[in-house]
Every structure is written in structure tokens, then in C-alpha cells.
Structure 1
Amino acid sequence: MKTTTKILLFLLMPLLQPLSFAQQTTTSRNLIVQDIEFKGNSKTKPGVIQHYLAFQKQKPISTAKIETSRKQLITTGFFKNVEIYTRPGSEKGNVIAVIEVEERRGPYFQFGGGHSDLDGWYFIPASLRFDNQFGYGNLADIQLFFSDRTSKIAFNYKKPFLFDGSTWLGVNAFGGSRRYLHFINGLQAQQDVDIGGIKLHIGGNEGFLRFVTLGLQTENFKPADELSFTENDSVIGGVQVPLALRPVQEVYQISAFTLALRYDGRDNHYYPRKGFWGAAIYEKATTELNTEVSFSRLLVDARFYQKLYAGHVFALNLKSAHASDDTPFFKRYYLGGANSLRGFAERRLTPVGYGTKLLLGNLEYRFPFSKSQSLEPSIFGVLFYNLGGLWNENAEIQSDDMFHSLGFGLRFKLPILGLVRMDFAFPTTVIENEDFQLHFSLGQTF
């Protein structure tokens, strides 16, 4: 009898083991955090660490929440290392969560580059960071910043959790120069504009307010009173400069408020396969803020992603923008180039004085070269079609004025810089001296 029982237990063992595992999994999902202990944080306040945890006291904890919390703490840059583990609590089903950190000491240098969803590519050759210097979780840095025809030195400060943690506050002070391209009688000219100012932004961390950002800014713009032509090295100034580009005062002081709504429902930022990203940004410069130039601007940007099969993705971007007629040229819109309408030279389709009404559409078919199911392929191709138009205040929007192009591209990931983009673009709307463009940039087009 005993022998028979042993044989039956041996045969049933494979069935009993999965049941036991399932019971253990269910139990682990029902574990409750009795308390949270912190180790190694001689500088960082416990409340700062708690803001980045995916679990709370008297709430359930799981392996997924522990890993999410660890990654979020590492991403802050406050710590060199983070370990999170549990030990039994005073009662069955309760655990003590232990957060053990190795803090980063003193300021440190950082450099990098990449792509932002609204501003295009950027490169930071040097940044001195002062994050979490006094243990309150604040972010601060001084950086050299280069982006699309802009170079500046900037000081950035952010308090990620203000008041009860439901709000964040950011301050950006900067000074530098921005180069504007103009096409005058088919010739490319450059005009430098010195820039400087300070911007204040506040937004939410919870609920609907996490999609909302309010801003208040004051900026100084000093356009050069001469243009330099790149093809023949000639320079014009004074009354020779087109009226739309001729500064009527030495420095323009502009004070404005901004309201931004942003939503990000993409499943992946690097290579989204499905989801939606959208933004609507309104800017108003008004005399109530003591601005020297009054104007308003509105930008609406929508991006759609749909997986087709095996990592192949259909992506669509629609963008519309409008600025009031009294908007100065350095606050208006341009058309043409790697981060605008491909197939045409940078700013080539921009009227003199830049435009006040912009329509832009991008359609892409993205496909990885590898059969790997990686969520972030290191190299992939793109087929694309672009159309767009730009008009000034005196022109009516007409479909016949739209420009079109198509082409193919290659994307590959590099250390530090991230995603590098190379596009071979062919205009289907023929204009003088435009038959092919090879574009290089950073990040996705959208």
C-alpha cells in the first residue's frame, strides 16, 4: 500500500507543482506593504524617494512594481545604484519594503544629444549638473546647447514635486544666438538674431492637469541689420534689407504667456507601434505684460501610429499653425528641410519674412531590417510622403500652393546621440534648382 501511494504521488507531482506555483503567485500579489525603510540616503529626504515608488504603505506590492520603482529611481540620476527588496512583516501577508541607495556626490558633468518632439534635434557638448544637491530632489544644470541653427548657454531648474507633489515648477534662463535663413531672388541669405530671456513653467503630475502646462516668459531679440549671402559672400544692409526683415528697433522685448496641452499615448517613444501623441500650444504676447510687440500664435500637432505586422508600422503626422499678422519674423513659421518638408533645402519654401499660416503632413511606412522582435530596433528603414504649404498674412490658403515630396530613409542608433536619421528625398513639386535632397538629422521625424 505504501509503495502504491509513493508511485501515485510521484506521478501526480508534475500536476501539483504548477498548482503550488500558482498559489505562491497569488499570495505574492496579495502581499501588503506594512512599512518602507530607507538605507544609504544620508542626503536625500525619504519623501523624495517615495515620489518615485510605484507602491505605498498599506497597499499591495509585486515584483513588477518593485522593478518599476527601481528604474524610476535610477532614471533620476540621484543615485549610482538602487536595490529594492522585502522582508517579512509583523503579520502574515505583510512585508517591509527596503530601499537601499548609493547616492551620487557633488556636481557632475554630462553630455549628450537627441531629439525632442517639438524642437527637433539638439546636442549638448557640456552640462554641469547640480541635481539633488541638498536632498530635496530638485533638478538644476548649466549647459551649452546646440540645436537647429541655435546656440546658447542655459540654466535650467526644475522642482518635480511642488506642494503636495501634484505640481511641478520649471525655470529656464538663457542667452545665445539663432541663425535665420532667407531666400531672396533664389539666393540664400543668413541673418543672426541674438536671443536671451527667462521662462517659467508650471504643470500638474496627476489627473487631467498632467496634460496641462502654463508658462510665463520674457525674451529679448536683437536682429542683425544686415544679411550675408552664402553663395557669393556678399553682404547687404540698411534699406537694401527687405522691409519684412529690417529691424525697426535695436532690441525687441517680448513678454507672453503660454498654454500647452500635451498627450502621449504611444506604446514606445523610440519606435512607437501604436498610439497617439498630440499637442496644442497657444502663445499670447499682450501689453498687460509690458511687451513691446503684441501678437498671438497657435500650433496644433497630431501624430498617429498603427502596427501592421512583424514590427512594420504606419505613421501619420498632421500639423497646423497660425500666427497673427503683427507677429515678428523670428516668431513665425518656416517650410522646407529635414525637420519640416523633406525634398527641399532648409527653409527653401519660406516666403521672405517667414509665414503666418502653416499646413504640414507626413506619412511614413517604417520597417525593421532584422527579424528580431526587439521593441527598439537598432536599424530600420522608412518610406515617406510629405506635403505642406506656408502662407503669409496677405495670402489665401489654396491646395494648388501645396508642395509635395517622397522618398526613403535609414535610421540607426548610435551611442550618446541616439537615433540618427538619413533621408533621400525627391520633390514632386518642381521648383528651380530643386531635384533631390539628402537630409541628416537626429531622432524620428515625428
Structure 2
Amino acid sequence: MTSLDDQAKAILRGNDKGGYTLPTHGLYPYQWNWDSAFAAWGFSTFDNARAWDELDTLMASQWDDGMVPHIIFHQPDPGYFPGPDVWQTGQSPATSGITQPPVAASMARRIWDSDRDAGQTRIAALYPKLLKWHRWWHEARCTHGPAAITHPWESGRDNCPDWDIGMVNVDGSGAGEYTRRDTGHVNPEMRPTKEDYDRYIAIVKYGVSVGWNPEKIVAEGPFLMADPGITFILLRAHDDLAAIGRELGEDVSEIEGWANALRASLPLIWNDALGAYDARDLRTGAFANVLGSGAFLAYLAGAGNPQLDKQLMRAWDKVTYGIPSADPEAPIFNPRKYWRGPTWPVVNALIAIGLEDSGHHDLMERLRAETAALIRKHGFYEYFDPIDATPCGGADFTWTAAIWLTWAGQDPQPVTEKGAA
């Protein structure tokens, strides 16, 4: 029988298109931003050079202003919607007009740490591009304090309940006719609704109408929300990028300034009524009042607290496998509906890094054991029902294979320091 390690490596190799990796065949036929960062981390466990190639290919499509797009359309695939003809960004190769969670610096640091000698020249060449992307985040998307998104897709957690209050104000009536690929590959009940998609496309069309001008999109676009998930990912990435810069002998005071400003903004996304960090509509100031997995990425940024600990344990103890993407006690919870309840191995891994770093070793090991159990039961699916482990989304999924190789499939480690949860 082929070991799970070998299966995971075969998935990465099978989804490898030469310099970039598909999330999975059929459902996602291009290069996705944060998927690629995790793919690189996975490759680093058995092919260090290929890991750096992945990040290089991603950053090669960086826009002149520093933004790194969420999709890079390397090869034509007319069946995919919305394709480059819809985005109309004028980039070469064609790209989407929005970004995704900036995990690349954090993954690059981990890849470099796995083999310092092999990565020295690669990280030195990558560093200025990562720096430029982080500067873009600070200047274009942290103008209100926390990191803001202008499209739910930018969050990586596309249809999570966090965005409902912002999406209500998006007029999707002019989206027109289109055919989605996702509902042809996956049970439509597990995917965002047509009403959601109409609004997604309306936001894209607005971007096209203003030539993807980032200032106009933030100032006047139909959707602008503070995202706890990206805020915490970016804060951790700033710290990781600064650590890389110091090792390279660079002046990192600019990055430290960005991190300090972002950390100082965290009270703006703390919702006392919820007892947790929360998404916030920056047009109205209203909180989403929804507990989601994005809030628990606070641990990744060293921003946990006792109130959040209580909310984490309450939500987690209501399910069997991993951190649910939405509160299991909330009316909107759906254990198989994309980001409205399922557990995602990739998010579990990020939360686990934070739990470990903050001394919650026992919780990290619990999360790893539960995530590993899902993969052992059903293989490398995109996400899972956190209650009964039903596999959901795409199969042979790159980032789930990567998470197995780097974290979930690792043997439990003894506690070296006394941790507290």
C-alpha cells in the first residue's frame, strides 16, 4: 500500500505544471496565490529547488504597484469562469484584479529555515518583491487601520458569513448570464449560491470600470470590509519578513513600522459583544457579529487572549474534527457549505502554528491529530464536514497534501516547555 506521504508527494507532482501548481485538476485550472505559497511549503519537504520555483513564479506576476494577484492565467482554459476576458486587467500573463492572503513571506521563511544554504540566494532575490507586496498592503489596504478586502474572494474564505453584511449592499442584478465551472465539479449544495456569485461578478465589473484603480476601489467600490483573517496573516507575515530582512542584513525599520501600526489597529476589529475579533463593514462601521475561523488566526499573530480562548474552545468542542469555519451554534452554520462551517486543513495548520507559538502545545497537538484523522479517513480533499468527516470540495488537493507533509502527518512532538491553554 502506498504511504500517505507518497500519496501527498504524488499529488504535488501531479498538479505541477512546471513552475506553478494547480490547486486541483478541473475545478481550479490556474495558479492561485495563497495555494501556491502552501504548495511551496509542501515541496520544500522533498524538493527544495522546486519550492523556490513556485514562489518565484507567483511573484513574477506582481503588478507594478506591488499587488500580487489571486489568479494567474498561465494557459487558456475557456471553460473557467470568470476568466481573463472578464477580469480585463491588461497584465501579461493575464491575471485577476484582486489579491489573496499574504502568506508567502511566512512560507518563504519556513522554506529557508528548512535548508539555509540552498535557499540563501533564492530568498535574497525574493525579498525585494515580498517587501514591495507588503508595502502595497500597508499603503493600499490598511488605510483604515486593519487590513481591508474589496472582494470576498480576496479573503480566501469566499462565502463565509463574515461578509454577509457587506454583500447585502452589492447589486448583482447586472451580472448577466454565465456558466460556473465549480458547480459542475462539486455538489452545488457545497458551493456559494447564484445570488452570491452575481454579486461577486458585479464587484469584478466595478473593478474593470475603474481600470482596477486601487484608490478608487477602496474609496468608492461596492464592498469594503476589514478582515480579521488577513489582518492576522499580514501581521505575522510582516514579522516573518522582518526576520528574513535582518538575516539578510537589510534595514527592516519600515516593516517594523507597518507591523506596529497594524497591531495598534487590532482594537478596531475586537467586538466586545461577540467576545472575539470580528469582520467589520468599513462603509458603515457595523460588525458582522459572526464568529469565524478568521478570528482564530489571531494566535498566528500573537494576538490571542483569554476571551478568545473561551470562544475557541466553545466552537471547537461542538465539532469532532478541527476548527469549524463558522460558529457551530450560529443559525448560519452549514457543515458542508464551503466557508460556512466546514473545517479546512490549511487553516487548521495556520492556527496550529499560532497555538504552538503561544504555548498551547496541547491544543496544537489536538488540532493536528484531528486534521490527520480526516486525511487518513478520506484522503486529500479540499475541506471536510467537521462533525462527521464527510470529504467536501475538490479531491487530490495540493494544499491539503502540502499540509500533510509539513504538519498534519508529522509524529507528535514532546512538550519541551510547560505550555498553558
- Per the normalisation by structure 1, the TM-score is 0.24
Larger strand proportion, structure 1 or 2?
1
- Per the normalisation by structure 2, the TM-score is 0.25
More relative contact order, 1 or 2 (CA 8 Å, 6+ apart): 2
Find the structure with the greater CA-based Rg: 1
